[in-house]
Chain A
């Protein structure tokens, strides 16, 4: 059973129920939910809230007023930059629940849950690849979609669209010149 002390915040967004848990106890929360019947993790991903200027304060400091009344989460009030989203489903009752945890830091770190939910294995690799979130305890945390030697994490919001040199563009001539020692 998931204890109420693990839930910082709860609400409903456009008909989807969600709860927020502290990032350091995400494994406890998810294993509790798993034993309650939420056995399938539909997907795991991350949202980058770089644009929000109002961050600061300890994680989970205070309930968000609008969210506490069941309204949509106010967007300018995310405690930390990265929001990890776990979408769970109970295959028997067909209920769905979204679990959110906020992380920060360089690199941002959170515990891996791939041993409890096998489909999370590739999802965590993808989130590491595209957002740079480090999942503690993941057996093979390597890039999955981008090439192994890629620099940066493309889905972060400070990574510009078109930031990469495009072949056959004007910059291509500069780019294709190999280093002297190659």
Chain B
């Protein structure tokens, strides 16, 4: 066993196909290309991968345990933090689950605002993916371009919710606050410029010979494997299966928007890249439709047992004071039962399974994260590839380790 710069190599004694010996190499957990802290134990024959065993848990923060100790409305803040690149979509899954148990329907304006935030999040998540993946495969300038647009999205997050990243904007019963006129202006401007920026990214990558040679034919995942392994998001659509929860099991009124499900029959890293590019264009289309149709009206359900009364009512109404006091000391209780709600996040099916025992705290909240399931397909994709290709494959699987470990 020799150790150089944190890389541990063990000789297995088995003979490889190239006259050498199969070596077991430790990769990570602290490695810039693992998008967090992912450790891989890799069996190498020369430079070819014969076996990969991912070791996860380095970012486990006990989010599901914390949810059991928090009241229903407090849990929203924690949901932001498991998939830290798409907080509003995590909020949405949790909010929809709680609303389904309570039998609550949010007003139309809140529905549209939720769609707007979901699509902005999908864009920012794909931008981070493209920037960092480009960086790993040698397209250094991608990061600068992508983070420029991501910053515009974070500015909008700040304008509408007060926070740049962990917005906690979507809550059971509606959203945190109405969109400001300035937010709508920023959004309008963003929708106008974004398609041109996507063209820029395509100019930089789609026909780029280095990018193509690093991704085409790398990390093949056949449609059958994608189905059997439970892959979702760009992973399954990159294998030619048009499975998008926004179309197949619509929520929040997605069935009323006109957009296409991006798929690619390439089944490789390049295919997954094309899917994400197409999805960014479709997201801009959805944003335009949502902004055009944004109806007037309240953004929260009119239920004093679930959401606090407006500030000015507290000075005139005794009822309002009582509701306010009850909500902030005890919270609201949710009828007993269990429910599973899944929404489409930037990286696949982001689900929330909630069990209520009729009290003001959940009995169990389980997050079904897309990254956790997609990462299990890693071995199938990376087998018999070179070590360097493994970086591209981890990149296009787009696992967020906070989401994997929760």
Interface positions of A (Cβ within 8 A of B): 13-16, 18, 39-43, 45, 47-49, 51, 72-75, 85, 87, 91, 94, 96, 98, 117-119, 121-122, 130, 143-147, 154-155, 157, 159, 161
Contacts and interface: CB of A to CB of B under 8 A. Distances in A.
* Nearest 7 interchain pairs by C-beta: A119-B230, A72-B337, A145-B57, A43-B368, A14-B339, A13-B337, A145-B60
B95 to A, nearest CB: 14
Contact of B230 (A40, A74, A157): A40
B60 A146 contact: yes
B366 A43 contact: yes
A155 B100 CA distance: 24
Contact of A91 (B100, B227, B368): B227
B270 interface: no
A146 B338 CA distance: 26
Nearest to A161: B69
A83 B43 CA distance: 38
A75 B337 CA distance: 7
Nearest to A18: B338
Contacts of A16: 338-340
Interface in B97-133: 100-101, 103
Interface of B: 56-57, 60, 62, 64-66, 68-69, 100-101, 103, 227-230, 243, 248-249, 335-340, 342, 349, 351, 353, 355-358, 363-364, 366, 368, 372-373, 376, 405-406
B57 A73 contact: no
B54 to A, nearest CB: 9
B57 A75 contact: no
A47 B364 contact: yes
Given A41-B230, A75-B357, A145-B405, A161 B65 contact: yes
Given A42-B351, A118-B230, A155-B65, A72 B336 contact: yes
Contacts of B349: 42
24 contacts: A15-B339, A41-B230, A42-B230, A42-B349, A43-B351, A47-B363, A72-B335, A72-B337, A73-B337, A73-B338, A75-B336, A87-B340, A87-B368, A91-B243, A98-B338, A98-B340, A118-B229, A118-B230, A118-B376, A119-B229, A119-B373, A130-B64, A146-B60, A161-B66
Contacts of B248: 94
A15 B406 CA distance: 27
Nearest to B380: A118
Nearest to A127: B366
Contacts of A40: 227, 230
A6 to B, nearest CB: 21
A117 B62 CA distance: 26
Nearest to A72: B337
Contacts of A130: 64
A75 B333 CA distance: 14
A48 B364 contact: yes
Contacts of A161: 65-66, 68-69
Nearest to A96: B340
A180 to B, nearest CB: 29
Contacts of B373: 119, 122
